[in-house]
Amino acid sequence: MTQAAGHPTISFGDAILAGFRQYAEFGGRAGVAEFWWFILFVALVTSGLGALNVATPNGVIGVGSSLASLWVIGTMIPTLAVGVRRLRDAGRRWTELFWLLIPIAGLIVMAIRMSEPSKP
- Domain interval for residue 107: 4-114
Specify the pTM.
0.85
Task: Tell me if 119 is assigned to some domain.
Answer: no
70 CA to centre of own chain: 16
Task: Tell me if 26 is assigned to some domain.
Answer: yes
Task: Tell me if 102 is assigned to some domain.
Answer: yes
Task: Tell me if 17 is assigned to some domain.
Answer: yes
CA dihedral 29, 19, 31, 68 (to 10 degrees): -120
More confident residue, 61 or 6: 61
From CA 95, how far away is CA 86, in angstroms rounded?
Answer: 12
From CA 90, how far away is CA 86, in angstroms rounded?
Answer: 6
What H or E segment, with its residue span, contains residue 65? helix 63-89
Please give the average per-residue pLDDT across 18-38, as a whole number: 93
Task: Tell me if 120 is assigned to some domain.
Answer: no
Task: Tell me if 53 is assigned to some domain.
Answer: yes
pLDDT at 1: 39
Q: What is the pLDDT of residues 45-98, one digit of tens each?
A: 988 888 877 766 665 666 777 888 899 999 999 999 999 999 999 999 999 999
Q: Specify the number of domains making up the chain.
A: 1
Task: Tell me if 71 is assigned to some domain.
Answer: yes
CA dihedral 104, 105, 111, 112 (to 10 degrees): 160
